Chains A and B, each alone.
Chain A
Amino acid sequence: MSWHVVARADEIGPGQSKLVTARGREIGIFNVNGDYFALANKCPHEGASLCKGRIIGLAEADEPGQYRLSRQGELLRCPWHGWEFDIRTGQSWCDPENTRVRAYSTRVESGEELEQAAAEAKAEATKDGKTDGKAKGPYVAETFQVSVKDNYILVEV
């Protein structure tokens, strides 16, 4: 498992989602009221692309005719057969025992933190002049400054 930068935080507003690929896996990143969650883009029932489904609430009734909608924006409805999954956990509300979407951990880090982590990793690798057993080659590719102002969403895959 490793962490992958997959999106800029301001790209996915509350109630929105984005389909990304990390380590070859299609993963949907969802913003639920400012928190980010990640689910595999594959319905465990018949394999539909879950991220094309609607984001909905939980409809409940204590008795016929008494409707109640709660947890608005926290459930995902499969675009095919309408199976509903809790975006926070991947849990199905139709068949909780047997059906669950693969959920991944997410976190948000600032560009500064990412840059610092990258710099530290580089320093670690080249500590005491060592370059991890590798000799420096003759060419240095052109590099560009990276934006550090924004926050980024990471997913662990």
Chain B
Amino acid sequence: MTDVLDRVQDNSAQAAPRRAAPKAQRPGIVDCDIHPLAKSAAEFKPFMSAHWWEHMTTYGSGVRQAFASTLAYPRMAPEVSRADAWPPGGGPPGSDLDFMRAQHLDANGIAHGVLIPLRMNAGNQRNLEFGAALCRAINEWQIENWVVPEPRLHGSIQVSADDIDFSVAEIRRCAQDRRYVQILIPPRNSEPLGRKRYWPIFEAAVEAGLPIGMHVGGVSGFPAGAGTGAVSYYYEEHQSLVQAMQAVIVSMILEGAFEAFPSLRLTCIEGGFGWAPSLGWRMDKHWKVFRSEVPHLKRAPSEYLREHVYLTTQPVEEPEKPEDLARLMEWIGYDRLMFSSDYPHWDFDDPAYAFKHRMTDEQKQKLFAGNATRLFRLEAA
């Protein structure tokens, strides 16, 4: 006896990538924010000495918060991820290269993707020697486990800003290898990133010809609410990611880091961008009053912002009138905005849907590929 359903096509088990065909025909996109995850910590073992592996499995991560293996504000989505990003073969989202290819790289026409490893807060470890070992392991793991099997992906050199000597040495070691395209520093550190103690890292970055990438997060030890006290909600903490980003940009500009290192470039990743114009306007207004306090600044602060700071787009702000965002993007300049998806995290931006306003072909080319191709010295997409 045959069931009625045998006459009905059932695609519920189908896992084919959504809209793969039309997207693949578009010119290649550069995605500035892809999060790879290890299936388990054991993936790092080949890249650590016996001592540090023993240390990690015995003591684990130690940052300035009470939680060793989670975030201070638990996310609304497990692993901070899209509910559909869990690989069918097991493991957490972002841990399966084949599934990442099918669901994101191939399906969304990604020609180049920049890896941003976040797990374990390698850049904020309080035990500096362990932090250095962890950074090195994560840097090598990116190349061996991701970039070698998938050359569309590129590595970020994770450093530990509190350990200046290590950071400089690690930048010099990795910069020989062009498969790394930026230096990754969290925005929340012991001190604001523009402070002079961090300048040797900037000097090494300039010497290596690599931009600094700053992805939201990090553990400063202070409450996440922009220093105003501990906030109540994840939603509230999420807003403070932008405030931390702004604080670092203000620090970098006002302390004179960009004046001292004219070729230094900073990419702010996942901190939004719509706020950048008003931040520039406010700094410029007060610079007229305070310029005698910071005589090392030779130009209006907004000029450093526009020249030195790149902003990735995800999560795109969505004002009621999309053209309002278009005006802000014009102020920032289409030569400083770069597409990012944040795959596989829950607030992923789909390149086909993220922007609600019209862009010219030239603007699209810069935002989706051209700027990042030039900044990261990639092969033209």
Q: Which residues of A does B touch, CB under 8 Å?
A: 4-8, 18-21, 26, 45-49, 52-54, 79-82, 111, 114, 144-147, 150, 152
Q: 11 A–B contact pairs at CB < 8 A?
A: A5-B7, A8-B5, A19-B11, A21-B10, A47-B350, A48-B84, A52-B83, A54-B83, A80-B82, A82-B76, A82-B346
Are B4 and A79 closer than 8 Å at their CB atoms? Answer: no
Task: Give complex CA distance A79, B80 in Å.
Answer: 11
Which of these, A21, A82, A146, contacts B3 with CB under 8 Å? A146
Are B18 and A147 closer than 8 Å at their CB atoms? Answer: no
B3 / chain A contacts, CB cutoff of 8 Å: 8, 146-147
Q: Please give the distance in Å from A99's CB to the nearest CB on chain B.
A: 11
Question: Taking A26-B11, A45-B353 as contacts, is the C-beta distance between A79 and B83 under 8 angstroms?
Answer: yes
Are A52 and B84 closer than 8 Å at their CB atoms? Answer: yes
Residue of B nearest to A26 (CB): B11
Q: A8-B3, A47-B352, A146-B1 are in contact. List 11 more A-B contacts (CB 8 A).
A: A8-B5, A20-B10, A20-B12, A21-B9, A47-B19, A48-B82, A80-B84, A82-B76, A144-B2, A146-B4, A147-B4
Task: Give complex CA distance A19, B4 in Å.
Answer: 17
Which of these, A52, A81, A144, contacts B1 with CB under 8 Å? A144
Which of these, B4, B10, B11, B346, contacts A80 with CB under 8 Å? B346
Are A5 and B8 closer than 8 Å at their CB atoms? Answer: yes
Are B346 and A7 closer than 8 Å at their CB atoms? Answer: no
Task: Give complex CA distance A18, B9 in Å.
Answer: 13
Residue of A nearest to B19 (CB): A47
Q: Please give the distance in Å from B92's CB to the nearest CB on chain A.
A: 15
Residue of B nearest to A152 (CB): B4
B48 / chain A contacts, CB cutoff of 8 Å: none
Task: Name B63-119 residues within 8 Å CB distance of A.
Answer: 76-77, 82-84
Are B353 and A147 closer than 8 Å at their CB atoms? Answer: no
Are A20 and B11 closer than 8 Å at their CB atoms? Answer: yes
Q: Please give the distance in Å from A42's CB to the nearest CB on chain B.
A: 8
Are B347 and A81 closer than 8 Å at their CB atoms? Answer: yes
Q: Please give the distance in Å from A29's CB to the nearest CB on chain B.
A: 10
Q: Please give the distance in Å from A93's CB to the nearest CB on chain B.
A: 16
Count residues on chain B whose CB falls below 8 Å from chain A CBs. 26
Task: Give complex CA distance A5, B10 in Å.
Answer: 11
Task: Name B1-35 residues within 8 Å CB distance of A.
Answer: 1-5, 7-12, 18-19
B8 / chain A contacts, CB cutoff of 8 Å: 4-7, 20
**Is B354 part of the contact surface with A, judged by Cβ < 8 Å?**
yes
B354 / chain A contacts, CB cutoff of 8 Å: 46
A147 / chain B contacts, CB cutoff of 8 Å: 1-4
Q: Please give the distance in Å from A144's CB to the nearest CB on chain B.
A: 4
**Is B199 part of the contact surface with A, judged by Cβ < 8 Å?**
no
B9 / chain A contacts, CB cutoff of 8 Å: 21
Q: Please give the distance in Å from A141's CB to the nearest CB on chain B.
A: 13
Which of these, A4, A49, A145, A152, contacts B84 with CB under 8 Å? A49
Q: Please give the distance in Å from A22's CB to the nearest CB on chain B.
A: 8
A150 / chain B contacts, CB cutoff of 8 Å: 4
Are A7 and B5 closer than 8 Å at their CB atoms? Answer: yes
Question: Taking A47-B18, A81-B346, A145-B2 as contacts, is the C-beta distance between A19 and B12 under 8 angstroms?
Answer: yes
Task: Give complex CA distance A54, B82 in Å.
Answer: 11
Are B2 and A146 closer than 8 Å at their CB atoms? Answer: yes
Are A53 and B83 closer than 8 Å at their CB atoms? Answer: yes
Task: Give complex CA distance A114, B3 in Å.
Answer: 12
**Is B348 part of the contact surface with A, judged by Cβ < 8 Å?**
yes
Q: Please give the distance in Å from B74's CB to the nearest CB on chain A.
A: 14
Task: Name B341-379 residues within 8 Å CB distance of A.
Answer: 346-350, 352-354
Task: Give complex CA distance A45, B354 in Å.
Answer: 9
Are B11 and A5 closer than 8 Å at their CB atoms? Answer: no
Are B350 and A5 closer than 8 Å at their CB atoms? Answer: no
Q: Please give the distance in Å from B299's CB to the nearest CB on chain A.
A: 39
A146 / chain B contacts, CB cutoff of 8 Å: 1-4
Are B12 and A18 closer than 8 Å at their CB atoms? Answer: yes
Residue of B nearest to A43 (CB): B353
Are B4 and A47 closer than 8 Å at their CB atoms? Answer: no
A82 / chain B contacts, CB cutoff of 8 Å: 76-77, 346
Q: Mark B26-68, 1 if CB is under 8 A from A, else 0.
A: 0000000000000000000000000000000000000000000
Are B346 and A46 closer than 8 Å at their CB atoms? Answer: no
